[in-house]
Amino acid sequence: MIEAPHYSAAGALKKGTFALPGDYFDGAVNQPVLHEAVKVFLNNQRQGTHQTKTRSLVSGGNQKPWKQKGTGRARQGSTRAPHWRGGGIVFGPSPRDYRTGIPRKVRQLARRSALNARAANGSLYVVEPLAMTSPRTSQLVELLEKLGIADRKVVILTHGIHEAAYLSARNLPYAQVMPYTEASAYDVLWSDVVVVEEGALNGEPLPPIRTFTPTPKSPAPAPEPKAARVPRPAKPKAEKPKAEKPKAEKKPAARAGKPKSSKSRAPKAGKKTASTGRKTSAAAKKPAPKKKGGK
């Protein structure tokens, strides 16, 4: 039977040790299965977005660099061939999915082997249920210091979902908090020390989700009303003396009785005169000549 040190929720070491359940902690560590589980986990973390360009994807190279014969150089068909600088890549990576499957029983065996390996090394601690009601990173750091593992990578396995503990460790790069049933073999092997709540090992039913109610923030004080702005008295404008405009001199009126200058105009051709009533023409019309021998 494998035993583990037992601590209280405040970090005090209790008398005696905690006996781990024998049906799960049997001390067997299967190395090939651990290797397979870690490889599958890391494969599933890859995004597979890498890509290189082949000679068909590289732009340019549509023309033959030089003619086939007569230059003394080796014949070339394109500047985007793989042996040219700036050419395509031969057998380069292309986008793909690295997801790898693993049988369920193999995954469970790997997880059991990882926990047995930590328990055999004395790196598995059992604590009472954490009494954190609100996220406090300083409180979690204080607990790890009392356990003597503040400078090591730690994974804390809670009995069910403990929201306050998860939020408390979120800022710590060397600590992780997750439910005991969700921890994988990689999570256990990543850490140097495993801290487990005793309820997860006793076989107790899962408690309700331990959430916390954030304290409502106090309303911000209302801003003080601004004082009414007093308008400044307007400065009296200095009146500029208006410059008197000189009066325009009146033009002397035209003398009465002065005859207007009139020029005798010749009557236009084609108009009747007042005296004769006949039309005037610029040139007198000549009578038409009589035809010879005519009557």
Strands (E), 110-170: 124-127, 154-158
d(CA 144, CA 5): 14
Q: Which of the residue ranges 37-46, 86-95, 243-252, 281-290 would you say has the lowest mean pLDDT?
A: 281-290
DSSP H/E element including 113: helix 104-120
| Mean pLDDT of all residues in 224-249 | 75
User: Can you give the pLDDT at residue 253?
Assistant: 63
Place 92 in a pLDDT band, splitting at 50, 70 and 90.
Answer: very high
d(CA 214, CA 133): 10
User: Can you give the pLDDT at residue 175?
Assistant: 96
Place 204 in a pLDDT band, splitting at 50, 70 and 90.
Answer: confident
162 in a structural domain: yes
User: Can you give the pLDDT at residue 53?
Assistant: 96
| Domain boundaries, position 168 | 3-59+83-201
pLDDT of 163-175, one tens digit each? 999 999 999 999 9
Q: 104-120 and 31-44 helices cross at what angle (nearest 10)?
A: 110
Place 85 in a pLDDT band, splitting at 50, 70 and 90.
Answer: very high
User: Can you give the pLDDT at residue 234?
Assistant: 79
209 in a structural domain: no
d(CA 153, CA 165): 16
267 in a structural domain: no
Place 282 in a pLDDT band, splitting at 50, 70 and 90.
Answer: low
| Mean pLDDT of all residues in 14-41 | 94
The rounded percent of the chain whose pLDDT value lies above 70 is 82
Residue 48 belongs to domain with CATH number? 3.40.1370.10
pLDDT of 100-142, one tens digit each? 999 999 999 999 999 999 999 999 999 999 988 899 999 999 9
35 in a structural domain: yes
Beta carbons within 8 Å of 5's beta carbon, 6+ residues apart = 13, 17, 18, 122, 125, 126
Number of domains present in the structure of the chain:
1
DSSP H/E element including 109: helix 104-120
262 in a structural domain: no
288 in a structural domain: no
| Mean pLDDT of all residues in 4-10 | 93
216 in a structural domain: no
41 in a structural domain: yes
